[in-house]
Amino acid sequence: MFADHGLECLESRRLFTGASVSHGVLRVVGNETNHNIITVNNSVDGKNVDVSVSWVTALKVKKNFSASFPKSIGFKKINISGGIRSDTINVSQANGSVGIKTRIESGRGDDTITTGGEADVIYAGKGNDVVNSGGGKDLVYGGLGNDNLSGGTDNDTLWGGNGADTVNGNDGDDKLGGVLGMNTLVGGAGHDTFVVTKLSNNPQNDFNALQDKLVSKEKASDTDAPPA
Ligand SMILES: [Ca+2]
Ligand SMILES: [Ca+2]
């Protein structure tokens, strides 16, 4: 039903809700215009990646897509996209980390994104988002809105972006981007790098000159926004 080659065209991609493997990438696409609950996790035996996408249409019709992809297919990346509404995206660790690089773009809406031990790149986009990137070396962009970003263990890079963001590096040597807006920056344990125009623009912070590094940026646009 979902032809792999159909994902190549942007128009097709927008109409498509579900998951498919193409060119070594497992793509999981939420419904463009409705709230999605997207879950990706290892199968119990760890041999497959199980995907579930649930949404409810404007006419209150409940829909669900689910599929189980054998890792033996050989995909090296998982790309997950949400839609324009609030999405809940969870790379569940219930059966252990999927152990595959994951990239998430949750789109507009107030999204909640939870990931785990794999290396994640997360673009939360417009809206007030909550991101918990778990273990692994993660790169998180809060984008527009007042976001709450939390890196788990390991060395994470977390960019608050526009808005009043709360950025928690937690364990590891983290890089915290508070260039734009009035933010709360908490590095937690480890040697953290605070990237700011001025630290005083981020009045709530745990910067410690004895173990942390301060990097001042004049132009916010250089550093605090995801690459185009
Ligand atoms: Ca969204
Ligand atoms: Ca955001």
User: Quick one: which ligand is closest to 106's CA?
Assistant: 1
- Bridge partners of 115? none
| 14 — pLDDT class (breaks 50, 70, 90) | low
Percent of the chain's residues with pLDDT above 70: 89
Please state, in angstroms and rounded to a whole number, the distance separating the CA atoms of residues 205 and 198: 12
CA-wise closest residue to 163 among 106, 215, 122, 110: 110
- Residue 70 above 90 pLDDT? yes
Which ligand is located closest to the Cα atom of residue 107? 1
Model confidence band, residue 16 (pLDDT cutoffs 50, 70, 90):
confident
Q: The dihedral of CA 6, 10, 11, 14: what is its sign?
A: positive
Confidence of residue 2 (pLDDT cuts 50, 70, 90): very low
Burial of 218 by CB count in 10 Å (0-12 exposed, 13-18 middle, 19+ buried)?
exposed
Distance 93 CA to ligand 2 centre (A): 24
- Tell me what the mean pLDDT of segment 69-82 comes to: 97
pLDDT, one tens digit per residue, over 156-210 is 999 999 999 999 999 999 999 999 999 999 999 999 999 999 999 999 999 999 9
Cα 136 to ligand 1 centre (Å): 23
Helix (H) or strand (E) segment spanning residue 27: strand 25-29
| Cα(123)–Cα(113) distance, integer angstroms | 10
8 three-class SS: helix
CA of 107 to the centre of ligand 2 (A): 9
Our CA angle for 104, 214, 112, nearest 5°, is 20
Q: Would you put residue 10 in left (φ > 0), alpha (ψ -120 to 50) or beta?
A: alpha
- What is the Å distance from ligand 1's center to 5 Cα? 25
- pLDDT, position 3: 43
Q: Does residue 10 surpass a pLDDT of 60?
A: no
Q: How far apart are alpha carbons 72 and 24 in whole angstroms? A: 11
